[in-house]
Amino acid sequence: YYDQSNVPEEIMKVVTALAFLASAAAFAPSSKPAFTTQLAAEDFLEAEPYYDQSNVPVNQFKIKTPFTGKVVSQKRIVGPKATGETCHIIIDHEGDFPYWEGQSWGVMPPGNREKDGKPHSVRLYSIASSRYGDDMTGKTGSLCVRRANYWCPELNAEDPAKKGICSNFLCDSGPGTEVKMTGPAGKVMLMPEEEPDTDYIMVATGTGIAPYRGFIRRLFVEDTPAAKAYKGQAWLFLGVANSDALLYDDEWQASLKSHPDNFRLDYAISREQENTKGGKMYVQDKVEEYSDEIFTKLNNGAHIYFCGLKGMMPGIQDMLKSVAVEKGLDYDEWLKGLKKAKQWHVEVY
């Protein structure tokens, strides 16, 4: 009775959308939400044609003239054994701060720096929702933020003087908290939607998952022109320390069920899995397991994305170089070709 093989795709899309909305509702406060939920077609924030990127909004709000949004909800989204705290924050922008999947918002934390009395600098965060927001009204956007704390070995405790100003502000926020923002920033992580059979390979560590959540919602959850047209495969690789640190797993599982031919998912859980050499399983090790297939996809026009801590890139580059050498390729020339074709997308911090 649970065989879904003959369920029409449109019905599965509605089921998946309901699952994602339930997930979004879990992030919302128990009080009256600041937004309404809709299940109508998500087509009112589209370019014409939908893949035209000539008018992508960029830097509409700047440091001297920031936008003020209001927090709808803030919720911890990792388990008790996760390494650190990661929160999902929904911000109401009333439809006045449009953005595209893959862009970032700048957040200006309140207060001034102790050292010189100047305002705190802007912190960039990849937006973790589609342009329609978790509620699909086009009036909210979401951030995935890990609280930055500093553990002092001498005190054998966290040093509050060295904690991350902006991440703690966001993770401590609540409904109604005002957030000054800049942006939207960046075009490097946009999806090239003109060719609907393009494969996307998405590699993330931790909160680097944020832009891919927007991609996956747009392709597999929402009733967008991009979703209707998409015939390729989106392959997500996520690296975290342990199972409690996995982010948005319920949403990925829903997309796997609704689009088993178009969505793939692989986790690298460093403290629970071993790589082929017997060491910890990092995200580059998981990617390496499929290196032949990934190289074939890239040679056929796939786009590969990297988002997360910049420390992951040397391992990724070393792995790809070793595989390229095995295949008799000049790695530098191969990479230059990907970059020239705009198939290589990197946003690390």
Using CA atoms, how far residue 17 sits from 221, 245, 251, in Å, is 5, 24, 10
Tokens 């879990």 belong to residue: 26
In whole angstroms, give the CA distance from residue 45 to residue 101: 12
CA angle 162-182-169, nearest 5°? 30
Spatial neighbors of 74 by CB under 8 A, at least 6 apart, are 87, 88, 89, 90, 170, 171, 172, 173, 174
Share of the chain residues as helix, strand and coil, in percent rounded to the nearest 5: 30, 25, 45
Closest CA to 297 of 217, 199, 155: 199
Please answer whether residues 187 and 126 qualify as being in contact, where contact means their C-beta atoms are separated by less than 8 angstroms: no
Residues labelled catalytic:
125-126, 307, 347, 349
Spatial neighbors of 316 by CB under 8 A, at least 6 apart, are 203, 283, 284, 287, 306
